[in-house]
A and B are shown apart, each in its own frame.
Chain A
Amino acid sequence: MGLLLAVTLTAGQYATLKDGTVIILKDDGTWEKVTPQKSVPKVGQPQAEAVNAPAQEKVQPRQGEKVVDPLAARYAERLQGLWRSDDGRERLEISGKRALFVSGRTRRGGPFEIEKIDAQKGAFTLVIGETERVGKFAFGGMRRRFVFEGADKLVDPEGGLLPVTLRRQKR
């Protein structure tokens, strides 16, 4: 399912893929295909397909404005906060549009992006501090592949010999 295709978010909950499939985005980052239902219009209610209606209100980005994948934006929002690995060696801070990753004496900070989202698995790649992308080359930054397991747990399946688990911390 090509989530990479243009996605139009509706009311913060529903999205319409380019192929017309409508999905519902869940709080845990997963999604589910839904079938739009035609409702019987009541007096005064606009006649429209409930889930598709907001799609008709799609706002075109202005020239020069970066198109933000709404799903990525949603993941970025879920990442906000402080995370620590179970062994205490790694720390991830996401605040606004910036991220800081600390592992021992190594710190890496800067703007971050969410990419390569697999919404079915809740998986995504976190890119911190990338400076440039030319063709198939990406310059700078660090990358970690995480999977959301619930709202307060991140797992990097290839973070070490065993998967590395980061949990949301209270500041």
Chain B
Amino acid sequence: MKFAKLSLAALMALGVSAFATDVKVDGDVKLYYGTNDADAWTGALLPHPNGVQDDGTTGGDLFGQHNSYANAAFRIGLTAKDMPAGLTGRLSLTYLDTFGLEDSIVDDTWAGNGVGASVWFDEANLKATLFDKTTVIAGRQYLDTPLVFSEKWNIAANSYDAAVVVDQHIEKTALVAGWIWRSNINGAATVQGNDRIVGALGGTPTQESAFDNYFDTFGKHGAYAVGAVTNLIPMTTAQAWYYNVDSVADAYWLQADVTPEIGEGMKLVIGGQFAGTQLSGGDEDATVWAAKIGGEFAGLKLSAAYSSVDEGDLGFANVGGAQSKLYTEAWWNYGYVSAPDTDAVNVTAEYSFADIADFGAYYTATDSNDQGRDLTEFALTVGKNFGAFDTMLAYVYTDAEDQNNDDSYNTLQVYLTYNF
């Protein structure tokens, strides 16, 4: 099967190159490693309830095999412009593997449904400009909308089989209509169909759960989305979206972000979000509001945000994953701030020292009326680019009522990426 897929990729690449006048080849190799000192934790593959170490003792051990997870991924993509009829083609193949690390330094994976290798096309689409300012992208692609988007935190991003039309005939405004029929859901447990969608919207904290080459129907019969994004109001980006996951759920999302200049090199950032979800045949609709205030001062980015999700059947996480677009979203523990009946705060500070490194500090806390769902997370990151090599080191302090027997624990993560 894998050979069949690779052969198909080669054929498509040859086909693309035969017609196109301009072909770009891009890709990357990634190695992501994480370790924690939790006594009990849940990995992408397995629950690790007892923290049993190699020497038979119990208890979490940072860098211990039982408390570590890793994956390597290889991705290669082709973009062909100026194909016949002015089409642009995009093809990208992802290869995810554990490379035997499970036999030596780790006991779980960063992503994927099992130990070993998976191969899949994360992108395979055609882009056409129908009229002067109307574009259609059809096929497997990455999406970026408030409730359906591709998540970039993982070693591979989730993608969607979709058809999307974007019209820009109105000045400074984009009108979007999309039909989504399949996806591989990033970070959500691999339960099927309806439950999977509801699980994702509900924001269950399963960010380390498996996903890879398994593309399944979105809900029962797919979903559609329409939206409008505009910059007509000066210094403001406003957007409105409506989603219908056929026979499963409806949702809407409103957002406005204002970024006035308040001085030379200083910018204020003020944002507001309001959204709602409704489960078909459910008992209670849910709404959320969130606000953010922050600023950028000489390279320093600071922001504080608050969100409040009321009671309801569904939450506000990505339908195709685990993360949410709420201003208060945590750095690592996704699914908490977006869950029903939850208030959350987030404080973020990021600073880039020129020619040294990028530093980030992120604090998130939630207060849930759902018993045993409160979270406190504090994350520190440092990232440095060495030309084609990109590196990031992250420390995450997690204190969640539903993790590690309600005890706090520490996580270290190493992100290595080679771009080519």
Q: How far is the CB of A166 from chain B (nearest CB, A)?
A: 13
Q: How many residues of B contact A (CB 8 A)?
A: 47
List the B side residues contacting A142 at CB < 8 Å: 26, 419
Cβ–Cβ contact A109 & B386, under 8 A: yes
The A75-123 residues at the B interface (CB cut-off 8 A) are 82, 84, 86-88, 91, 93, 95, 98, 100, 102, 104-111
Cα-based distance from A9 to B274 in the complex (angstroms):
55
Cβ–Cβ contact A161 & B269, under 8 A: no
Q: How far is the CB of B262 from chain A (nearest CB, A)?
A: 14
Q: Decide if B387 is an interface residue (CB 8 Å cutoff).
A: yes
Cβ–Cβ contact B420 & A110, under 8 A: no
Cβ–Cβ contact A171 & B237, under 8 A: no
Given A140-B26, A161-B166, A161-B174, A87–B259 Cβ distance below 8 Å?
yes
Q: How far is the CB of B98 from chain A (nearest CB, A)?
A: 22
List the A side residues contacting B229 at CB < 8 Å: 161-162
Cβ–Cβ contact A140 & B358, under 8 A: no
List the A side residues contacting B259 at CB < 8 Å: 86-88
Tell me the B residues contacting A by CB distance below 8 Å: 17, 20-27, 144, 152-153, 166, 168, 172-174, 176, 229-231, 235, 237, 257, 259, 264-265, 267, 269, 296, 298-299, 301, 352, 354-355, 358, 383, 385-388, 390, 392, 415, 419-420
Q: Decide if A66 is an interface residue (CB 8 Å cutoff).
A: no
Given A102-B358, A136-B23, A170-B298, A161–B388 Cβ distance below 8 Å?
no
List the B side residues contacting A70 at CB < 8 Å: none
Q: How far is the CB of A36 from chain B (nearest CB, A)?
A: 36
Cβ–Cβ contact B420 & A140, under 8 A: yes
9 contacts between A and B (CB under 8 A): A86-B235, A87-B237, A100-B385, A106-B152, A129-B419, A137-B25, A138-B22, A140-B420, A171-B299
Cβ–Cβ contact B257 & A139, under 8 A: no
The chain B residue with its CB closest to the CB of A91 is B352
Tell me the A residues contacting B by CB distance below 8 Å: 82, 84, 86-88, 91, 93, 95, 98, 100, 102, 104-111, 129, 131, 136-143, 160-162, 169-171
Given A136-B17, A162-B172, A110–B298 Cβ distance below 8 Å?
no
The chain A residue with its CB closest to the CB of B236 is A86
List the B side residues contacting A141 at CB < 8 Å: 24, 26, 419
Cβ–Cβ contact A129 & B387, under 8 A: yes
List the B side residues contacting A171 at CB < 8 Å: 298-299, 354
The chain A residue with its CB closest to the CB of B394 is A105
Cβ–Cβ contact B299 & A138, under 8 A: no
Interface centre among A93, A105, A141 (most CB of B within 10 A): A105
Cβ–Cβ contact B23 & A138, under 8 A: yes
List the A side residues contacting B21 at CB < 8 Å: 136
Cα-based distance from A131 to B264 in the complex (angstroms):
38
Cα-based distance from A114 to B315 in the complex (angstroms):
45
Cβ–Cβ contact B25 & A107, under 8 A: no
Given A87-B257, A88-B301, A138–B419 Cβ distance below 8 Å?
no
